[in-house]
Amino acid sequence: MPSPTKILVVDDHPIVRQGLDRLLESEPDLTVAWEASTADEALQVLDNHEVDFVLLDIGLKQGSGLDLIGQIRSRKEDLPILVLSMHQERFYAERVLRGGAQGYVMKQGDPAEIVPAIRRVLSGDLYLSPSLADELVRRAVDGRDEARPAVEQLSDRETEVVRLIGSGLSTREIAEELNLSVKTIESYRANVKRKLGLRSGSELARFAYDWTSRSMGVTAG
């Protein structure tokens, strides 16, 4: 029998990691060999072990999951990566694919979707929900990228800053979270306001809260 695919799970919620371990333990060809709760822990595993597959959340409490995808790519160019996230895929799926991941699954979806998604990525294909795949094809055929909302044209780092603002973090807390200076975060905030036509910090905070709530499938009040 061939050795099972050794999976690294990166998620800052222990319950999620335990749930994935239980889900995959019945699959003889798949095994959760390592777990990490931060980007730094994940990189330590990658530097010291032969990982076959990475299953990660982009919403980490320490570090950025989007940054982590790029860091993994710089170390292991061909390592398959599947993102499992609580954020609606239409807000993040294209970004993670551009960053180097091969698929996107929502945590709110059917758990039975995860194993087929892993197998599809392992086979060399991309994995997206049928509805998003259809939307991306329509965009490509219709050439509608230029008409996309301005928020979708923010850089990955700017998007992360908006997400963290919407989660209630202060500028200093965001700087600590992303290992950047306060001045750098202030610069990102200014860029976001300019690109989105927002006039003040309070307008940015309200926009960020509403956007983050929508990306998580929650109706903002």
Q: Give a three-class secondary structure readout of 77-95.
A: CCCCEEEEECCCHHHHHHH
Which two tokens mark 108?
């709110």
- Sign of the dihedral defined by the CA atoms of residues 110, 103, 59, 43, in that order: positive
**Which pLDDT score, from 0 to 100, does residue 147 have?**
44
**Which pLDDT score, from 0 to 100, does residue 6 have?**
97
Task: Supply the pTM of this predicted model.
Answer: 0.72
Taking Cα atoms as reference points, which of 143, 135, 147, 38 lies closest to residue 94? 135
CA distances from 177 to 38, 60, 61, 149 (A): 11, 9, 7, 27
**Which pLDDT score, from 0 to 100, does residue 141 have?**
67
**Which pLDDT score, from 0 to 100, does residue 184 have?**
94
> pLDDT for 173-206, tens place per residue?
999 888 889 999 999 999 999 888 888 888 898 8
Query: Which 3 state secondary structure label does DSSP give 124?
Result: coil
34: β partners = 8
Is the pLDDT reported for residue 221 higher than 50?
Answer: no
Contact present, 212 and 166 (Cβ < 8 Å): yes
32-46, 76-90, 133-147: which has the highest mean pLDDT? 32-46
Say how far apart CA 137 and CA 52 lie, in whole Å. 30
Q: Which domains does the chain have, with CATH numbers?
A: 5-139 (3.40.50.2300), 149-215 (1.10.10.10)
Is the pLDDT reported for residue 121 higher than 90?
Answer: yes
